[in-house]
Chain A
């Protein structure tokens, strides 16, 4: 099954981290990504630019609105994701626990809703 690991981190803290600390974190993510790949679990993964580089599009009163910034104003911000292949939810959770973000922020695990599941459920 495919799972999405959503990484939430305090982006201000990340931006303010010392150079040494930043390198340490990057190396930890590098090692984690490597581990995922070696085990065959890695499907995709990317880092997102900070929320201030984002915009949100929604319709209000029948009008398209474009707003600066993210959808939700949260203490920690979505900073990136991994998509992994895992046998079951427990395996996916284990991978989430190993992600460096689990110790600095939060990793949310969400199963992908495969089209085939979706159609059979409806």
Chain B
């Protein structure tokens, strides 16, 4: 029962965000004034989030939002003079759109809005937050927590980015073929950043609560539906679905962390995996390889265990070789080292890890220390393994993972009592 209600609530909320994002995008694409568009719809959106879960989603959700927005605005204007921009927005809607909207779907400009949010003139760190706010209507405080930033700081950054869109005259358009590649990468990266924040968030354990991983997938689906011919858009969605499919298996019933290799495959979501495989197949048919397709292929190789009972580490290692060549990053290199360790032995893996040793970015990067600790432990180098475990434990923020690492460290035995 509780679950059914929860699902109905989530569906109503999704519909509200869907309509809200469409309206914000439609207005902003015409005025370049994102903040004004949001302002015009803020009250109506809040009302929808409150009412739709109880009363159901109206037949024409966009028209409902607009009607409420206009009514509230009129009230507000009567009481006091409010934002000029918000009034202009609503007049624009009234004049240009209302007649046609009665029979037609509102044109979907969200893709153009996404490209504006991920424009090179917008600071990379604020692109994902900006998309989450403008397309999905999340408030700054919620986004701030997900990205571990103070709400006041996040608000400032969002305000600054929006005024930059307006003042710099950032275009609301899907780039031409010639420049699409790089610009699309920025959009994909922003969506993946939203997903990854949600994924690394311990709330990933709670299937009932919406979190940024869910929102990232939602955006990924939107993008894949708006650009169905783009292999990397399909690849990103595939990648996220593979990860999502394992959500329930990531924690034991007691809330303990379960590493991928020890996960119960019965807890994996076969339907999501099948969907991810199909997407990856569609992407591969376009014969243009890319980072997200490769990462999705790695995930695919991991999930192959549900059929074959084993993991093909040599294949995974090759995929990471390819990834390193086109999108090298310390993260990819660490995962590659782990794959090498599985395929060729811990010593080879450790050697691949040590090549990275001087990279300053890794000093505070937990997965590096966890990987290093695991490999050193396998080689019987308990004192160094203990040291690396300590470092990983100290850098972890998820209590379940912290406990897991502590247990591994304790499992090293007496040779490593003091680090």
Contacts and interface: CB of A to CB of B under 8 A. Distances in A.
| Complex A–B touching at CB under 8 A | yes
Interface of A: 55, 57, 59, 61-68
A68 B144 CA distance: 10
A64 B145 contact: yes
Interface stretch (B200-208, B275-283, B367-375): B200-208
B151 A64 contact: no
Interface of B: 141, 144-145, 148-152, 201-203, 205-206, 209, 211, 397, 399
A65 B151 CA distance: 10
A66 B150 contact: yes
Nearest to B202: A62
B206 A62 contact: yes
A63 B143 CA distance: 12
Contacts of B206: 61-62
A68 B152 CA distance: 7
Contacts, number: 38
A98 to B, nearest CB: 36
B397 A64 contact: yes
B349 to A, nearest CB: 31
A64 B147 CA distance: 9
Contacts of A64: 145, 148, 201-202, 397
Contacts of B205: 62
Given A66-B148, A68-B150, 14 more contacts: A55-B150, A55-B152, A57-B148, A59-B202, A61-B203, A62-B205, A62-B206, A63-B201, A63-B203, A63-B211, A65-B145, A66-B144, A66-B150, A66-B151
Nearest to B150: A55
8 closest A-B pairs by beta carbon, nearest first, are A55-B150, A63-B203, A65-B145, A62-B202, A66-B145, A62-B203, A68-B152, A68-B151
Nearest to B397: A64
28 contacts: A55-B150, A55-B151, A55-B152, A57-B148, A59-B202, A59-B399, A61-B203, A61-B209, A62-B202, A62-B203, A62-B205, A62-B206, A63-B145, A63-B201, A63-B202, A63-B203, A63-B209, A64-B145, A64-B148, A64-B202, A64-B397, A65-B145, A66-B145, A66-B149, A66-B151, A68-B150, A68-B151, A68-B152
A67 B211 CA distance: 17
A59 B354 CA distance: 35
Nearest to B206: A62
A55 to B, nearest CB: 4
Contacts of B141: 67
B414 to A, nearest CB: 20
Nearest to B142: A65
A57 B145 CA distance: 9
Contacts of A63: 145, 201-203, 209, 211
Contacts of A62: 202-203, 205-206
